[in-house]
Amino acid sequence: MVKFEDPRTWPKLDAIGGTVELSPALILHAYRHGVFPMPFAPGLIGWFSPMRRGILPLDGLRVSRSLRKSAKRYRLTVDQAFGQVLARCADPARPHGWIDEAIARNYAELHHAGIVHSVEAWDAEGRLCGGLYGVNMGGLFAGESMFHDPVHGRDASKAALIGLVDLLTADGVGGRLLDVQWRTDHLASLGVIEVPRDRYLELLSAALELPAPEWVVPD
């Protein structure tokens, strides 16, 4: 198994290595040490620990009045349509798509094991309009991907994110970590910040000691 235990041996790059191997056990081993997989090329998995990691402080989510109003149009569920969410996130027609068959298969296995979860946003007609999925280990939620329907899903992925933050904070446990991998302009508009790799690893170590949230939509 690839070893990620000693960050002092990692290159000062976002990508710290590559393998042809990918398995649920290796994925979990990587997340425990602040590393996540993304394909480099067909048959080659890259392992990443960004020098500047994107996180969303759970008390820092920015929800405008218009977004709050828009989000109320959706009904949120948890783990009710994981396969559909994964398929929509993996749609090869999406710009910068990266979820290949191996990634999808392994994360589906982790979902069946109760480690990977999805949040779904549905409209009044029962259409799946947006959603997200990611890995939960203790107090860590590592967001992997999100989507919205371009026709029916205005703000649907944001509604799912609001629901996720509500879920992670519903029981009052502090210190949980919402990892989004990289900060983008879009995510920054919602409150995502960057922290150096060393700081992320400190936050991760503390978060992994915390209890997992209850995976239900808060009232």
Give backbone dihedrals phi and psi of 118, rounded to 5 degrees, phi first: -125, 155
Residue 39 is encoded by which pair of tokens?
């394909």
The pLDDT of residue 92 is 83
Residue ranges of the alpha helices (H) in 16-155?
A: 24-32, 65-71, 82-89, 101-112
The pLDDT of residue 97 is 75
The pLDDT of residue 152 is 93
Q: What is the pLDDT of residues 48-67, one digit of tens each?
A: 999 999 999 999 999 999 99
Question: Which three-class secondary structure state does DSSP give residue 181?
Answer: strand
Residues 115-130 have a mean pLDDT of 97
Q: Which of 179, 156, 134, 150 is nearest to 33 (CA)?
A: 179
Q: Which of 176, 210, 215 is nearest to 55 (CA)?
A: 176
Domain ranges of the chain: 7-50, 54-208
Instruction: For residue 137, count CB atoms less than 10 angstroms from its CB and return exposed for 0-12, middle for 13-18, buried for 19 or more.
Output: middle
d(CA 116, CA 110) in angstroms, rounded, equals: 5
Residues 6+ apart with CB under 8 A from 159: 70, 71, 73, 74, 76, 121, 130
Q: What is the pLDDT of residues 68-109, one digit of tens each?
A: 999 999 999 999 999 999 999 999 887 767 899 999 999 999
Predicted confidence band of residue 138 (pLDDT cuts 50, 70, 90): very high
Residues 147-169 have a mean pLDDT of 96
Q: What is the pLDDT of residues 12-35, one digit of tens each?
A: 999 999 999 999 999 999 999 999
The yes-or-no verdict on residue 146 having pLDDT over 90 is yes
Please report the sign of the dihedral spanned by the C-alpha atoms of residue 71, residue 183, residue 208, residue 141: positive
Residues 125-133 have a mean pLDDT of 97
Q: Which of 86, 79, 85, 74 is nearest to 162 (CA)?
A: 74
Question: Which three-class secondary structure state does DSSP give residue 153?
Answer: coil
Q: What is the pTM of this model?
A: 0.95
Predicted confidence band of residue 1 (pLDDT cuts 50, 70, 90): low
Q: What kind of fold does domain 54-208 have according to CATH? A: Aminopeptidase (3.40.630)
